[in-house]
Amino acid sequence: MSTNAIAQLFRGDCELGSKVVVKGWVRTRRTSKAGISFVAVHDGSCFDPIQAVVPESLANYEEVTRLGAGCSVIISGTLVESEGKGQSVEIQAESVEVVGWVDDPEAYPIAKKRHTFEYLRTQAHLRPRTNAFGAITRLRNTVANSIHNYFYNNGFNWVNTPLITSSDCEGAGELFRVSTLDMANLPRTDKGDVDYSQDFFGSESFLTVSGQLNVESYCLAMSKVYTFGPTFRAENSNTSRHLAEFWMVEPEIAFADLEDDAALAEDFLKQVFQQVLEQREDDMAFFAQRVDKEAINRLQNVIDSKFVHMDYTDAIETLQKSGKKFEFPVEWGVDMASEHERFLCEEYAKGPVVVKNYPTDIKAFYMRLNDDNKTVAAMDVLVPGVGELIGGSQREDRLDVLDSRMDAEMREHLWWYRDLRRYGTVPHAGFGLGFERLINYISGMENIRDAIPFPRTPGSAPF
RNA sequence: UGGCCUGUAGCUGAGUGGUAAAGCGUCCGGCUGUUAACCGGAAUAUCGCAGGUUCGAGUCCUGCCAGGCCAGCCA
């Protein structure tokens, strides 16, 4: 008899009265002296565990009465309508095989009780057994799938940009070095510098901070492309919104300007949210109940409303006129601080807000210079709770302007990037979306370390 | 990297210089088609580590370690 995923049983894939086999882990067991035990089993396929009703007539019933949280079991029986409240169907067990016991029930890290997220981070290998992390894991999976679906259905090509790069001038953050040199005995040049020509790639190399520059080259051939993969930043950032290793989605569209880019971001988010509400009803109900009451309403509101757009210049004016006291003063030309971004999306727009056309001086070299010569065609999508969810721009497609924003070393290193402006250049634009930030925005989870299975942060990479 | 906060039982967490609460979980018993059940009982603590002050330190001081929050950097 084949295994039945618990999700199938609740979904009605199996007829009542049919024989089913469930394999999973015990969440709770309650024994009734009337001669039955109730065993709740989860297998990760859906939020709810299934209840198996085990009669004392089973030969190994004594074993069953010793089952506790974390034990692994195979339960065979008949799928029946539940006599009790709280679940639609349950399994009338005909056999219970205990596959793995829990050594020391008292010390089992995931006891049948509430745990803090902070504690569960120290048990990252076992936390997927909890309600919350099971839900987050399924949410991540659904969102990733929705992202690929969105792009696939809209004619985008998924481009697998490299994780190892030799470019250290992208400006997106500190880089992790990749090297096979013997650290205890580094080769030196005549000048005494480390001789990277002897390193694996024949030059200095690093883990990527962004696939953008590479994906632009495919954009200028395939028209609509995106990357979706891990990125690495060696910033010493200790906040609830930063990881040293995180996943990023970076679409890039040709023959497009900043408005097209912003429109893509909005349509993309709305469609992903729509799919999440349709496909993860059970987990979203959990988030709304236990993590953030607004979790479901928030997504529905975003789907139903238009994003608020404002120029950086207007945003600064709005902040100045707000009458609110900020720790850092606002004036045209400054990079907005968290408190400013928070005000704009949480108090002013009360939802996602798109801020566009930032001062040239505070933005990256590849962003397109506007006609005013003061601002670039950049945009950030700010959302309540997580702040900057998306950062994007129209790219500088004019070689002379691009060159003016790079120094000699960059021009030499990024010769291939410059080539893209020499051979059939076109206006193009794209953005980067932090996948874990998206997961937190959707679920209402507050710490990004809980949005990824095994978080990597400064000073911490256990597991 | 800076500022602030926190380390007490498996987990959560009281304890304001003088005998280390309690809840949950665990174990035992009772009850029950139960459902994060309920009732009764029991076991469980080098008070993060190392120094110092004191007759006496979980409590005060110093250093270190670990974690968290906020800020900067960004996604």
Stretch A171-181: mean pLDDT: 86
pLDDT band for A173, please (50, 70, 90 cuts): confident
Stretch A79-99: mean pLDDT: 90
Q: Please say if the pLDDT value at position A1 is more than 70.
A: no
- Residue A168: the pLDDT is 64
Which nucleotide across the nucleic acid strands is nearest to A27, CA versus C1'?
Answer: B36
Instruction: Classify strands A428-434 and A177-178 as parallel, antiparallel or unpaired.
Output: unpaired
Q: Is the CB of A123 under 7 A from strand B?
A: no
Q: Are A233 and A209 in contact (CB under 8 A)?
A: yes
If you compute the radius of gyration of chain A from its CA atoms, what whole number of angstroms results? Answer: 27
Q: Please say if the pLDDT value at position A12 is more than 80.
A: yes
Structure tokens at A57: 């007539």
Q: Is the CB of A72 under 7 A from strand B?
A: no
pLDDT band for A145, please (50, 70, 90 cuts): very high
Mean pLDDT (chain A, rounded): 94
pLDDT tens digits, residue range A127-140?
999 999 999 999 99
> What b/e string do you get for A9-31 counting C-beta neighbours within 10 Å, with b at 16 or more?
bbeeeeeeeeebebbbbbbebeb
- Residue A42: the pLDDT is 95
pLDDT band for A185, please (50, 70, 90 cuts): very high
DSSP A51-92: EEEEETTSTTHHHHTT--TT-EEEEEEEEEE-SSSS-SEEEE
CA–CA distance, A17 with A414 (Å, rounded to integer): 67
pLDDT tens digits, residue range A193-214?
999 999 999 999 999 999 999 9
CA–CA distance, A310 with A343 (Å, rounded to integer): 14
Q: Could you tell me the CA-to-CA distances from A192 to A175, A205, A268 in Å, in that order? A: 23, 19, 51
The torsion of the CA quartet A75, A79, A83, A87, rounded to 10 degrees, works out to: 80
Q: How far is the CA of A283 from the C1' of B26 (A)?
A: 29
Q: Please say if the pLDDT value at position A172 is more than 80.
A: no
pLDDT band for A106, please (50, 70, 90 cuts): confident
B chain positions with any atom within 7 Å of a protein CB:
1-3, 10-13, 23-27, 30-37, 43, 66-75
The torsion of the CA quartet A366, A418, A156, A390, rounded to 10 degrees, works out to: -10
Q: How far is the CA of A111 from the C1' of B39 (A)?
A: 22
CA–CA distance, A427 with A329 (Å, rounded to integer): 35
The reply to whether ipTM tops 0.85 is yes
Q: Could you tell me the CA-to-CA distances from A329 to A244, A323, A334, A381, A386 in Å, in that order? A: 30, 12, 9, 22, 22
CA–CA distance, A189 with A208 (Å, rounded to integer): 26
- Residue A7: which H helix or E strand, with range? helix A6-11
Give the list of residues 6+ apart from residue A463 with CB closer than 8 angstroms, or none: A124, A125, A454
pLDDT tens digits, residue range A24-59?
999 999 988 778 899 999 999 999 999 999 999 999
CA–CA distance, A441 with A351 (Å, rounded to integer): 11
Nearest amino-acid residue to B10, taking CA and C1': A107
Percent of chain A with pLDDT over 90: 86
Predicted TM-score (pTM) of this structure? 0.95
Q: Are A246 and A239 in contact (CB under 8 A)?
A: no
pLDDT band for A171, please (50, 70, 90 cuts): low
Residues 265-304 of A with CB under 7 A from strand B: 290
pLDDT tens digits, residue range A415-448?
999 999 999 999 999 999 999 999 999 999 999 9
- Residue A438: which H helix or E strand, with range? helix A435-443
Q: Could you tell me the CA-to-CA distances from A313 to A21, A346, A355, A374 in Å, in that order? A: 63, 19, 9, 11
Strand order in the sheet with A308-311: A157-158, A224-232, A245-254, A428-434, A387-394, A375-383, A353-359, A308-311
**Dihedral pair phi/psi, residue A346, rounded to 5°:** -90, -35
- Residue A177: the pLDDT is 93
